[in-house]
Amino acid sequence: MALIQNKQAMHFKALLFSIVLFALLSTIACNDSNHKAITFKTYLKTHKYAVGQSNFTIIDSLRNRPLITEIWYPTNDTTKVNITTEFPFIVPPTSKDADFLSEKSPLILLSHGTGGNRISQMWLACELAANGFIVLAVDHYGNTFDNKIPENFIKVWDRPLDISFSLDHILNNPKFNSKIDSTKIGMAGFSLGGYTTIALAGGVLNYNFLKEFSDTEEGKKEFDIPELKNLSKLIKPEVIKKGNTFKNLKDDRITSFVTMAPAIGQGFKQKNQFGNITDSILIIGAEKDEIAPVETNAKHYHTLIKLSKYIELKGEIGHYIFMNEAKNGLKRSAPVFFKDNETIIRKNEHNKIANMIIQFFDSQFKENQT
């Protein structure tokens, strides 16, 4: 009973912190007079559909993991309230709980980076939805900016299990399953979400390799991330032992994969760790990525994965280019994540990346149907 009460107390504290933090970010957004919100009418001049948005929580009781879930989807219903005006990010208008289209749409599952959350790549979710895709993202419990449980930052096997569980839920939910084309399910992820994507494609992480690398000078730098310092000390023998028992996290229902600035590449040294991969993977790296450098991560994955395609964003583009574009208030308060080199316009890069990803998913789903 005490254990249950402690867990409930921890969850309550995390929820309370989340509410306070969101209120703070909302204040920043409201005080940012330099940004003018886009209207549905204006947005529809350049996009096929408006974007609907809904939120709910699902509980994986076997693993004791609450998964706060966000879903974006194409809609023609712009009569509902736009919920993004209070966000500290520059994102399109979304129609809260709007009506779905009558026809079925492909589904894309989206995994955030370590210390992020389900809306960290909302820019991409909205572009996908406006082009006819349904997008689902979850908060990976204990690995978000408002709920940091240190050991959850290194127990990465929970992340692909989160995605598979959320997929089970949505495909069995009468509200959503009639709207999803279950023959067209894709996956995209950023940073540790990039690893999550590779695991769901069939990649098998070796914790011994990861520990060896984390003890090197280069490894220590990669494991000393802004979101949580000195992760290498958390790779303890019991974590290595349990982590190496997860030999198959592949989800065969997912048939197309995109990974953006994937992390923990040095947990992979052998091509046979990718022997279960049977579908194409698009790997996108950033030339000036100092968090997950391409040589030890994105390019490294590409070298080992036979069915991969690699695209590198050139110029002074860093790791966090794949995060939302921030309004000026948040950009000033969190420059590490939201301020780019003066030669880079994040919105322009987002447009390029979104186009790459949409074209890739379209071509892969079409190929899979033949």
pLDDT recorded at residue 150? 87
The confidence score (pLDDT) of residue 361 equals: 98
Residue whose C-alpha is closest to residue 307's, from 272, 282, 329, 334? 282
Q: What is the CB neighbour count within 10 angstroms for residue 57?
A: 10
β-bridge pairing 180-190 and 147-148: unpaired
- Per-residue pLDDT at 366: 92
Query: What does the block give as tokens for 95?
Result: 């129609």
Token pair in block for residue 246: 């997860």
User: Residue 286 has what DSSP assignment?
Assistant: E
Tokens 């959850």 correspond to 152
Closest CA to 90 of 359, 348, 364: 348
With vertex at residue 336, the alpha carbon angle to CA 331 and CA 341, rounded to the nearest 5 degrees, is 80
User: Who's near 120: CB < 8 A, 6+ residues apart?
Assistant: 112, 113, 190, 323, 324
User: How far is residue 199 from each of residues 149, 276, 357, measured CA to CA in Å?
Assistant: 22, 10, 19
pLDDT for the residue 223: 84
Residue 247: Cβ within 10 Å count: 9
What local confidence, expressed as pLDDT, does residue 209 receive?
96
- The secondary structure element, H or E, covering residue 356 is helix 346-369
Surface-to-core class of residue 12, CB atoms within 10 Å of its CB (0-12 exposed, 13-18 middle, 19+ buried): exposed
Please state, in angstroms and rounded to a whole number, the distance separating the CA atoms of residues 94 and 201.
30
pLDDT at position 281 is 98
- Count of helices and strands (H, E) across the chain: 13, 11
Q: Are 142 and 86 in contact (CB under 8 A)?
A: no
The single residue listed with the structure tokens 């780019």 is 340
| Closest to 316 measured CA to CA, from 297, 339, 335, 295 | 339
The pLDDT assigned to 35 comes to 65
The pLDDT score that the predictor gives to residue 23 is 42
pLDDT of residue 61: 96
Per-residue pLDDT of the chain (370 residues; tens, 9 = 90+): 333 334 444 443 444 344 344 444 544 444 454 567 889 999 999 999 999 999 999 999 999 999 999 999 999 999 999 989 889 999 999 999 999 999 999 999 999 999 999 999 999 999 999 999 999 999 999 999 999 988 889 999 999 999 999 999 999 999 999 999 999 999 999 999 999 999 999 999 999 999 999 899 888 888 888 887 788 888 999 999 999 999 999 999 999 999 999 999 999 999 999 999 999 999 999 999 999 999 999 999 999 999 999 999 999 999 999 999 999 999 999 999 999 999 999 999 999 999 999 999 999 999 988 7
pTM of the model: 0.91
Residue 370, both tokens: 């033949």
Classify burial at 168, counting beta carbons within 10 Å of its beta carbon; exposed 0-12, middle 13-18, buried 19 or more.
Answer: middle
Q: What is the DSSP letter of 104?
A: -
Run of H or E including 201: helix 192-201
Q: Are 291 and 325 in contact (CB under 8 A)?
A: no
Distance of CA 367 to the CA centre of its chain: 25
The residues, any chain, with a CB within 8 Å of residue 173's CB and separated by 6 or more, are none
Q: How confident is the model at residue 230, as a pLDDT?
A: 80
